Structure 1
Amino acid sequence: MAPHVLVADDDAWILRMVATVLEKRGYSVETAVDGEDALARARARTPDLLITDVMMPRMDGWSLVRQLRSHSELALLPVIFLTALSSEDDRIRGFRLGADDYVTKPFRFEELDLRVAKTLRRTQATVQETREQLGGSSLRGDLSHVGLSSLLVLIEMERKTGLLQLRAPNGPSAQILVREGKVVHARLDDAEEPVDAECVYYLLTWGAGEFEFTACLVEGADRVSVSTTHLLMEGARLMDEQNDPAHASAAVINVPPITPGNDEGW
């Protein structure tokens, strides 16, 4: 079956041209006129790829991707931003949200065609490789390739139990304990706050870094008490608030590390 691509843009000409090019390459294409429209269409029929503008009415592309990542069935959806925003800060913001590629307008349709094919191949290979590694006792990788939201969804789908360690580039590190696929505890290695659900919300903002999952016995109480879907949805809501100038960013302080298989200090 041909890959199904969802394209979101408030420019009718861009929508028509992108859809035409992709349909000629054999893709199934659906279009949306803004972020809210795209979110509704993605939830009604999960696409294989999203191509989205950033500046759109009702819901912009940033918020759209955060919302998609908050739904477990859409957390692994590959995304290409197609936008006139060309600054390095905008590109970094896109990749921190888990974008797979970032194409600036004006663009060549031949280039977009190649990037679509490359993104689909790379994403399918990465997800498959990650799932296969999760079937073993350990897994490691790069958060820029598999974001934390996607990783938590895969861990939930595979019902894994163990320790997920995260390390930001030249920055803090953190540890998340999961049992039967569910997050039960989270903390930073050198900070007292945030912990548990608040820590997960903070870690969801990391767009780069390394991760390693090790299967191990996890004992102790469930200190999070909410589903992965709830964590992802609340994390997306908080990121939207943080990007609103009216909200101040929260500070993060340091805590002792967790040892695999040891529930002391829970």
Structure 2
Amino acid sequence: MGVPTFSVRFESQDDFLVEYTDRLRHGRALLPLGKPLPPGTPVRLKVELPDRSVLYLLGSAIAPARRERSTSGATPVRLAMTEDQRAQLEACVQALMRTDEPTPADGGTPVPDAEDDPTGMSVLLVDDSVSMRIELGDALRERGLRVRVAENGLVALSAALKRPPDVILTDVEMPEMDGWTFVRTVRSRPSLTAIPIVFLTRLSDDLSRLKGYRLGVDDYLPKTMAPEEIIARIQGVLARRQQVVASGDGTNSNAGGGLRGRLEHVRLGSLLAFLESERRSGALHLTRGTDTATLHLASGTLEYVEGLGRYDHQHDRVFELLSWTQGEFALVPDAPLPKQTNEQPATPLTYLLMEHARREDEAKASGAV
């Protein structure tokens, strides 16, 4: 009698990613059979991959692990894979990590995160440092949060697909899949796109932080921040997300040309330089406490300023805004220009940035005399 062959299919690309992360990359598989096979039984698997290629794998049944015993009739299999077969699996995974095109929605409803306390905030903590996962994870649990941990972006993606958390708290520099790739991949999944992502990192330069905001990061926290402050900040991130989604103002994410972030992380000057270089159009909303202003942009030039405050000229208001070191920004792409813009000449952003720098230099020189 020959070796029995079993076909293995995946209902979606994300199902394959979960199975690869949980088992296939470790040389294991799980066959959902009506009756488990005895340990040692040789098997042959015909695995149909999401890229439409087929992989034939040999293996043998093994005794189920404790966490697999609850799966009725399932047979765990230890696989004997060649290097070429491993490379084929990894190539398929890497192809699914490319986010040039959005992953089609599977049509299913995400399974809510359900752990011991269903009322607590659920956090997925991603960091390659074991000590960081243990220390911060325990600190957050002691304060009532439900915490799952992952050592890299690939494992975190699998965990989020199985049980979407309320918020993802992730490091940037990690093996296998770094924070940048992880954010892009999460934002390309329809079932995960609305989950807030907070970078836990030492990144301090404007360009790196602006890159994160462009990809869809909601906030940045230093790794040295106290657990109480971390909880307060992620609660604030969740509240802002819910408020923006409820308002339907088009800035619920940084996808589709939108951009949202904090001026503590990206200075307004760096943001304006970026918007000019990419010839962006839209309404840039700036908020600091009760003080608000909106810069209306067209192809990277300033067309009009709403909310002049105590100033009569819009340039003077922009110079004041450029001095802000705290606050929030949100770009609504392609927002219609107010009618008043017909009366105002467009101003290159480079001129405003250079003039602001000149005025600052003069103020420093006069103060030093």
The TM-score normalised by the length of structure 1 is: 0.52
Conserved? CA contact 1:75–1:150, under 8 Å: no
Conserved? CA contact 1:62–1:94, under 8 Å: yes
1:172 positional shift: 3.5
Gaps of 5+ in 1: 131-139, 152-167, 175-188, 191-206, 215-266
Conserved? CA contact 1:70–1:149, under 8 Å: no
Identity over the aligned pairs, expressed in percent? Answer: 35
Q: What is the aligned counterpart of 2:149 among 7, 14, 31?
A: 31
Question: Secondary structure, in 3 states, of the residue corresponding to 1:209?
Answer: strand
Q: Which residue of 1 aligns with 2:227?
A: 109
Runs of 4+ in structure 1 off by over 4 angstroms are none
Conserved? CA contact 2:125–2:147, under 8 Å: yes
Q: Provide, for residues 5-55 of structure 1, a one-character-per-residue CA deviation record: whole Å limited to 9, x for no partner.
A: 100000111111221222122211110000111011111111110000000
1:88 positional shift: 2.1
Seen in structure 2, the aligned counterparts of structure 1 residues 150 and 43 have a Cα distance that, compared at 3 Å, is: farther
Q: Provide, for residues 126-160 of structure 1, a one-character-per-residue CA deviation record: whole Å limited to 9, x for no partner.
A: 22222xxxxxxxxx444xx5322599xxxxxxxxx
1:207-222 paired onto structure 2 within 5 Å: 209-211=331-333
Q: Which residue of 2 aligns with 1:146?
A: 253
**2:250 and 2:245 mapped to 1: Cα distance?**
11
Q: Which amino acid is the alignment partner of residue 33 of structure 1?
A: E
Q: Provide, for residues 74-132 of structure 1, a one-character-per-residue CA deviation record: whole Å limited to 9, x for no partner.
A: 011101000122222221111111111101233332321221221122212222222xx
User: Considering only aligned residues, what root-mean-square deviation do their CA atoms show, in Å?
Assistant: 2.8
Seen in structure 2, the aligned counterparts of structure 1 residues 150 and 99 have a Cα distance that, compared at 3 Å, is: same
Greater Cα shift, 19-28 or 31-40: 19-28
Q: Provide, for residues 225-246 of structure 1, a one-character-per-residue CA deviation record: whole Å limited to 9, x for no partner.
A: xxxxxxxxxxxxxxxxxxxxxx
**1:211 and 1:88 mapped to 2: Cα distance?**
21
**1:101 and 1:116 mapped to 2: Cα distance?**
8
1:63-82 paired onto structure 2 within 5 Å: 63-82=181-200
Q: Which residue of 1 aligns with 2:201?
A: 83
Seen in structure 2, the aligned counterparts of structure 1 residues 125 and 25 have a Cα distance that, compared at 3 Å, is: farther
Q: Which residue of 2 aligns with 1:260?
A: none
**2:163 and 2:256 mapped to 1: Cα distance?**
20
1:111-130 paired onto structure 2 within 5 Å: 111-130=229-248
1:169 positional shift: 4.1
Conserved? CA contact 1:9–1:53, under 8 Å: yes
Question: Secondary structure, in 3 states, of the residue corresponding to 1:62?
Answer: helix
Conserved? CA contact 2:196–2:218, under 8 Å: yes
Q: Which residue of 2 aligns with 1:14?
A: 132
Seen in structure 2, the aligned counterparts of structure 1 residues 18 and 113 have a Cα distance that, compared at 3 Å, is: same
Question: Secondary structure, in 3 states, of the residue corresponding to 2:174?
Answer: coil
Conserved? CA contact 2:120–2:144, under 8 Å: yes
Seen in structure 2, the aligned counterparts of structure 1 residues 85 and 212 have a Cα distance that, compared at 3 Å, is: closer
Seen in structure 2, the aligned counterparts of structure 1 residues 173 and 149 have a Cα distance that, compared at 3 Å, is: closer
Aligned length: 157
1:213 positional shift: 8.3
Seen in structure 2, the aligned counterparts of structure 1 residues 149 and 23 have a Cα distance that, compared at 3 Å, is: farther
**1:61 and 1:48 mapped to 2: Cα distance?**
18
Q: Which amino acid is the alignment partner of residue 193 of structure 2?
A: A
Gaps of 5+ in 2: 1-118, 259-273, 283-297, 300-328, 337-369
Bigger-Rg structure (1/2): 2
Higher relative contact order, chain-length normalized (CA < 8 Å, sep 6+): 1
